[in-house]
Amino acid sequence: MNKTREAEALDAYSSLVNFAAERVGPAVVKIETKVAHARGKDRGQGQGSGVIFRRDGQILTNAHVVEGARAVRVVLADGRQFEAGVLGTDRAHDIAEIRIGARNLPVAELSERPLKVGQLVVAVGNPFGLGWTVTSGVVSALNRELPNPRGGKLTDLIQTDAPINPGSSGGPLVDSQGRIVGITTAIVPFAQGLGFAVPTSTALRILGKFIVPERSTSALSLGLGGTQTNIAEWIVTRNRLPNKEGVLVLEIKPDSPAAKASLKLNDVIVDVNGKAVRTPQDMAKELEQFKGGDTVSVGFLRDSTKRKVTVTLNDKQNVGT
């Protein structure tokens, strides 16, 4: 190959990698997990990556990135930060879904198109917490198996030589069009060019098992939707809370009772009329005894401090998600 053709080939390769990275990049997020510090402050306990696949804040990542975390924070490519609720984890396939309280977010396309060995792929993630990083390579093999550190085997994996480093786990592996073909999950320590990803087809099958709480009874009464979330121990202690869990608010319907009471996305509801709640189901149970026009007090956390607001309920049949 002469120098002109070599330069043209490199330019073509670079253009493909650049196009794929720019297309998926805005949807790639950094995930930080936290635990309580003995002195009463949060400290970082782990980090990984994820990718937004729905505009209402639903994010794909690895189960091992978020499993067991007391708090999960998501940092978007534009620098915005949100607390996240874990909607579900599947340890056997190392897939998890989390959600943040935001709308109209950039998303990446999920693709189930068949892959071929030798096909160009690009990995985007946050290795070692360095922020948005792009690596490229090819599909080295398909249908690989690896021991799962959490028990059993990870099966049907994509093997790639695109470098995957700690902190990149949970990020997307994409094709030349920026479509997600897998979620990076593992590397073989001390080996070069041995990275692995869970295929998108597997991830989609797992996502079908996770129930997104968009239409809970609590949403029909207050006009909000949320999911159970963990509360750091120092926040529990400082605010004298009876539980270490609450309901993270992920959506609020315009003109709903919640909106009129100035509740906000990422508030964590901890009690309804003085009765502690841990889940959307707990909220639904407490609200069953009321009707439209009744007022209830709602205790919630904002900026790590407990606050209280009075909410006037609408009729359940008149309030949607």
Kindly report, residue by residue over 33-89, the tens digit of the pLDDT.
Answer: 875 454 555 555 788 999 999 888 899 999 999 988 878 999 999 999 998 988 888
Q: pLDDT value at position 189?
A: 65
Q: Which residues are catalytic?
A: 64, 94, 169
Query: On the CB side of 232, how many CA atoms lie within 13 Å of its CA?
Result: 24
Q: pLDDT value at position 191?
A: 62
Q: pLDDT value at position 1?
A: 56
Comparing 321 with 224, which gets the higher pLDDT? 224
Confidence tier at 8 by pLDDT (50, 70, 90) = low
Fold agreement between 120-206 and 217-318: no
Q: What is the CATH number of domain 217-318?
A: 2.30.42.10
Q: pLDDT of 200-246, one tens digit each?
A: 999 988 887 775 444 444 444 788 887 777 787 888 999 999 988 88
Task: Render 166-186 in DSSP notation, one character per residue.
Answer: TT-TT-EEE-TTS-EEEEEEE
Instruction: Identify whether the C-beta of residue 154 lies closer than 8 Å to the C-beta of residue 176.
Output: no
> What are the strands, taking DSSP E only, across the chain?
28-36, 42-54, 58-61, 71-75, 81-90, 95-100, 120-125, 133-147, 153-160, 172-174, 180-187, 195-199, 224-230, 245-252, 268-272, 275-276, 295-302, 305-312
The tokens describing 246, both together, are: 């609450």
End-to-end CA separation in angstroms for the chain: 61
Q: pLDDT value at position 213?
A: 44
Average pLDDT over residues 137-155: 89
Confidence tier at 132 by pLDDT (50, 70, 90) = confident
Q: pLDDT value at position 209?
A: 75
Does the pLDDT value for residue 318 go beyond 90?
A: no
Instruction: Identify whether the C-beta of residue 227 lies closer than 8 Å to the C-beta of residue 87.
Output: yes
CA distances from 96 to 48, 76, 216, 275 (A): 12, 18, 21, 31
Average pLDDT over residues 138-166: 89
Q: Provide the residue ranges of all domains of the chain, joining segments of one domain with +.
A: 3-100, 120-206, 217-318
% of the chain at pLDDT higher than 90: 44
% of the chain at pLDDT higher than 70: 86
Confidence tier at 271 by pLDDT (50, 70, 90) = very high
Q: What is the CATH number of domain 120-206?
A: 2.40.10.10
Distance CA 213, CA 280 (A): 8
Comparing 140 with 205, which gets the higher pLDDT? 140
Does the pLDDT value for residue 137 go beyond 80?
A: yes
Residue whose C-alpha is closest to residue 138's, from 13, 10, 26? 13
Indicate the range of 26-30, 147-151, 194-198, 258-262 predicted with least confidence: 147-151
Look up the pTM and report it: 0.72
Decide if domain 3-100 falls under CATH 2.40.10.10. Answer: yes
